[in-house]
Structure 1
């Protein structure tokens, strides 16, 4: 059976429309903001948990886009608060970026992304090593005690928590 010129033109129009819509939707999904898995407010701070695995830099960018920063832990109570948040969110286990690194420091000293001045640290024995430049909190991860920190390469892909006022 032969197609008429009108049928051919209609096929071209339909195919072109489908391709254009597919192209547009690929841009829309690439630009959609990250959505946290779980959010709660405690003591005047908002905490947003993201389970998409990101490098330290990419996680920091997501937080900044939402006018937040990677979570800072100033005392043992806040460390416990973060563990409780992970439990309430139903996280089975893993590593979570903290906003603590040597990346932001010109002296390569460990510093919080929000410049918090605290002496609290909860490193696992032997952590961090000299090669480590970013901190992560361990949660139901192997034989690690919950809430202890590990040093890591900032390129590792982890879950993360953003914090803001």
Structure 2
């Protein structure tokens, strides 16, 4: 005879209740299915796929491609991190479309494009695995699967909420990773935004898009904030500054202070003030070598925020 202990809500002492065998098995089965089985199966399948290149995931789970990676087009990178956590980081961001993962170093890159939109960046590369967000069950993101966060935000679960909201949207990078130089703090945010949206994000963090006053500051920004930035085409990984000539053509000012740009470090043939797809190049970004370039302001770039050192 099988017994199960069951405590009733309004009883001070537990009672013993006999459950028929089929009902007991059904109760155990559905309880497990609702909790750990889904996670366990997903973990096992992911482990098999990453361990054995010849394995294939069952229909309905992610399609993982071995030996491929999207170069550049990166929103953020993480290490060390598991592959499943890498996928979850992507699911928490509406901007993310795919992940590239290097298993040897447990290194994750979440991307704002996939192989359909970034055909030239989708390359064969040993040791990497590639997967697209649309192939993964959204349930992995928990309540964040229902989020309406903007493209420059990440969904974050709320532990304690006065209004009952299970999640909230945050702009990453406001409080960690700032570097100090000459009484100011700087942070390079890898989220890809237009210059106007980058300005708003910096202001959200109590900062502004970087305003470079002299060669010393430009050199420090290059060696301290851009030293790990690299790409085959330098135009694919530029970083916004706060300069623009929106108000008056060829007269560049800093977007926060509205002070005229006196120091500059233009790359050869820049600024050229050309139009791209009918759009004027009115905003200023930087190559990873510290030289400046003019761009249409709606181009999507990483950006550097600056604020006074407290």
Q: Same fold (TM over 0.5)?
A: yes
- Change in Cα spacing, 1:101 to 1:118, as seen in structure 2 (3 Å) is closer
Which residue in the other structure is 1:34 paired with? 172
8 Å contact kept, 1:53–1:158: yes
1:91 aligns with 2:229: yes
Which residue in the other structure is 1:152 paired with? 295
**Counterparts in 2 of 1:1-165, with a 5 A limit?**
22-23=142-143, 26-27=146-147, 28-29=155-156, 31-35=169-173, 38-87=177-226, 90-92=228-230, 94-103=237-246, 105=247, 107-108=248-249, 109-113=251-255, 114-130=257-273, 131-139=280-288, 146-165=289-308
Which residue in the other structure is 1:143 paired with? none
- Change in Cα spacing, 1:70 to 1:56, as seen in structure 2 (3 Å) is same
Q: Secondary structure at the match of 1:82?
A: helix
For each residue in 1:102-137, what CA deviation from the matched residue of structure 2 results, as whole angstroms up to 9, or x when unmatched? 23x3x3431101223441111122212223110011
Separation of aligned partners in 2, 1:117 and 1:39: 26
Q: Name the stretch that deviates more: 75-84 or 37-46.
A: 37-46
8 Å contact kept, 1:95–1:158: yes
Which TM-score applies when normalising by structure 2?
0.41
Cα offset for 1:147?
1.3
Indicate the structure whose relative CO is greater, using CA pairs within 8 Å and at least 6 residues apart.
1
Cα offset for 1:58?
1.4
- Change in Cα spacing, 1:43 to 1:122, as seen in structure 2 (3 Å) is same
Separation of aligned partners in 1, 2:229 and 2:267: 21
Q: Name the stretch that deviates more: 116-125 or 151-160.
A: 116-125
CA RMSD of aligned residues (A): 2.9
Name structure 1 gaps, 5 residues minimum.
140-145
Which TM-score applies when normalising by structure 1?
0.73
Separation of aligned partners in 2, 1:91 and 1:66: 23
- Change in Cα spacing, 1:24 to 1:95, as seen in structure 2 (3 Å) is closer
For each residue in 1:76-120, what CA deviation from the matched residue of structure 2 results, as whole angstroms up to 9, or x when unmatched? 1111011011256x33353110100123x3x34311012234411
